[in-house]
Chain A
Amino acid sequence: MSQGRSFRINLPTLFERVNARRKAQGLSTVEPAVMAVRASIKFAIDRQRYMDLQNTEIDLEKTDADALCHALGELFNVDLHLDDDPLADKSAAPAAAAGGTEDARRVLPMFQFYAAINRQRRAKGLQPVEPAVISVHTGIKFSIMRRRALNFREDKLIVSDGDLDALDEIVAQQFDVAIPGGLRSLCPAVAKAAPPSTAPGVDAGGEGKRFLGRFLHGITAKDESRMHTRHYALDTNNLLLSIITRRAYLGHRPITPDKVKKRCREALSAELELEVDLNDERITLTPDQLDRFADLIRKEFEIMFEDMGDLLGKKTKT
Chain B
Amino acid sequence: MKETPEYQHGQAFLGGLNHVYHCNHYNAHLQMTVMLADGVEGGFDPRRLLRDGAAQVVQALKARGYEPQDLRDEFTWCGFGYIKDVTADQVELPGSHYGQSTYLLGVPEKSCFFNAGFLQGMTGRATTETACRHTKARTDVFDFGAPAPAPDNPFVNPPPFTPVPRRFDFQGCEIASTPVDEDTIVATVATLPLYGKPPSENGDGLIPAFGVVLTNHYADYYNLISYQTYGHMVHAGVPADMAREAFVQCGHVCAFNTFGGIMESPEFHALVVPMCQDVADWIHGMVAVINALGWGAWRVERIVPGKELIVRIYNSYEGVGYRRLHPAAPEKQLSFLAMGAVRGLAHLFWKIDIRERPGLSQDYYFNVFNSHQGYWNVEQTHAIAAGDGFDRIVAWK
Contact = CB atoms under 8 A, between A and B. Distances in A.
Interface of A: 50, 52, 54-55, 127-133, 136-137, 139-141, 143-145, 147-149, 153, 172-176, 249-252, 298-299, 302-304
29 contacts: A54-B237, A55-B237, A127-B362, A128-B366, A130-B365, A130-B366, A133-B105, A136-B242, A136-B246, A137-B32, A137-B105, A139-B242, A140-B36, A140-B246, A141-B36, A143-B233, A143-B239, A144-B40, A144-B237, A147-B237, A173-B107, A174-B36, A174-B105, A175-B105, A249-B367, A251-B358, A252-B368, A299-B373, A304-B371
Nearest to B237: A52
B49 to A, nearest CB: 15
B279 interface: no
A141 B39 CA distance: 9
A140 B233 contact: yes
Contacts of B372: 131-132, 153
B156 to A, nearest CB: 27
A132 B249 contact: yes
A203 B364 CA distance: 37
B266 interface: no
A143 B246 CA distance: 13
B360 to A, nearest CB: 11
Nearest to A134: B105
A149 B365 CA distance: 27
A52 B236 CA distance: 9
A149 B368 contact: no
A120 to B, nearest CB: 12
Give chain B's interface secondary structure class: loop
Given A145-B39, A174-B36, 20 more contacts: A50-B239, A55-B237, A129-B105, A130-B365, A133-B249, A136-B249, A139-B242, A140-B233, A143-B239, A144-B39, A144-B238, A147-B237, A153-B372, A173-B107, A175-B106, A176-B105, A176-B106, A176-B108, A302-B374, A303-B373
A134 to B, nearest CB: 9
A304 B375 CA distance: 14
Nearest to A301: B373
A241 B37 CA distance: 45
A130 to B, nearest CB: 4
B352 interface: yes
A136 B105 contact: no
B370 interface: yes
Most B Cβ at <10 Å: residue of A127, A137, A252, A299: A137
A170 B364 CA distance: 26
B297 interface: no
Given A144-B40, A144-B236, A176-B105, A302 B373 contact: yes
A133 B106 CA distance: 12
Contacts of B174: none
B243 interface: yes
The residue in A136, A252, A299 that gathers the most chain B C-beta atoms within 10 A of its C-beta is: A136
Contacts of B245: 136
Contacts of A147: 237
A187 B104 CA distance: 28
B239 A149 contact: yes
Nearest to B41: A144
B242 A251 contact: no
Contacts of B105: 129, 133, 137, 174-176
A140 B238 contact: yes
A253 B338 CA distance: 29
A176 B107 contact: yes
B213 to A, nearest CB: 16
Q: Which 3 A-B pairs have the closest CB atoms?
A: A302-B373, A52-B237, A130-B370
Contacts of B375: 132
Contacts of A172: 107
A206 to B, nearest CB: 29
A137 B246 contact: yes
Contact of A130 (B32, B243, B371): B371
